[in-house]
Amino acid sequence: MISTSARAALAATALAATAIVGGSALAAPATASAQSAAFAGTSGSCSKSGAYINFTAHYHNSSRHHVFTWFEWTIGGNGVRNKNNVEVRVKHDNRLGHDPIYWTWVSPDNIRKGRSTLTQDQRNGAPVPRGGVKVPKNQRAYTEFKAVFDKRGDDPRCTGHTRNV
C-alpha cells in the first residue's frame, strides 16, 4: 500500500517528468495532455505510376475557426527525382460542387523527394499566413493537395484530400 505522501511525490514526479525525443530530453509541461488534445492532424495520400505523396494538415479549433497552422508531406516511389511540384489548398466542402478556396500555396519546381514541411516560419518566407489559415467553424474544412512527380519521361500527377474537420 502506498501512503498519501508517496502518492503526492509520484504525482509531482510525473508532472516534472521528461520525455526523450530524438535523443534529447524535453520537459513535459503539466498541460501537455490539454495542449495535445487541442491540436490535431488530418491526412490523405495519392499515387500514380509508382510515385506517391502522403500528406498531413495540422490544425486546431478556436472558438470560431478551424485554424490550419502547418502542413507536411512525404514524396517517394520508384524513379522519383528531386524537382517535384506540390500545390496545397484549404477549402470548404459545401457539397454543392465547387468548393470555395480559403488559401492556396503552389511550390516552385524544386520539391525534393522525402519529407517536407510548410510552416509560418519567417526565415523560410512564411508561406503559411501568420496566425494560420482560418475557416469558420460552422463550415466543413479540408485540404486538397496535388503533386506532379519528377520522373524520367512524362511526369505523373495525382490529387488527394484530407478528411473534413
**Mean per-residue pLDDT, 150-161:** 97
pLDDT score at 126: 59
Answer yes or no: do 80 and 140 share one domain: yes
Contact residues for 153 (Cβ-Cβ < 8 A; gap 6+): none
pLDDT > 70? residue 1: no
Answer yes or no: do 11 and 74 share one domain: no
Q: Smallest Cα–Cα separation from 70: which of 59, 62, 55?
A: 59
Region of poorest pLDDT, from 22-36, 105-119, 137-151: 22-36
pLDDT > 60? residue 103: yes
Answer yes or no: do 83 and 134 share one domain: yes
Answer yes or no: do 78 and 14 share one domain: no
Per-residue b or e along 95-108, where b marks 16 or more CB atoms closer than 10 Å to that residue's CB? eeeebeebbebebe
Percent above pLDDT 90 for the chain: 66
Domain tally for the chain? 2
Answer yes or no: do 128 and 78 share one domain: yes
Answer yes or no: do 24 and 67 share one domain: no
Answer yes or no: do 53 and 128 share one domain: yes
pLDDT score at 123: 52
pTM of the model: 0.74
Region of poorest pLDDT, from 40-44, 116-120, 143-147, 151-155: 116-120
Region of poorest pLDDT, from 15-24, 58-67, 113-122: 15-24
Q: What is the extent of the structural domain holding 10?
A: 1-30
**Mean per-residue pLDDT, 23-35:** 33
Answer yes or no: do 26 and 51 share one domain: no
Pairing of strands 85-92, 24-27: unpaired
Exposure on the CB side of residue 121, measured as CA atoms within 13 A: 7
Which CATH number does the domain housing residue 144 bear? 2.60.40
Query: Three cell numbers at 19?
Result: 520525455
Region of poorest pLDDT, from 30-34, 87-91, 131-135, 146-150: 30-34
pLDDT score at 125: 55
Answer yes or no: do 25 and 83 share one domain: no
Asked if 53 and 145 touch (Cβ cutoff 8 Å), the reply is yes
Q: Say which amino acid occupies 104.
A: T
pLDDT > 50? residue 17: no
DSSP conformational letter for 84: B
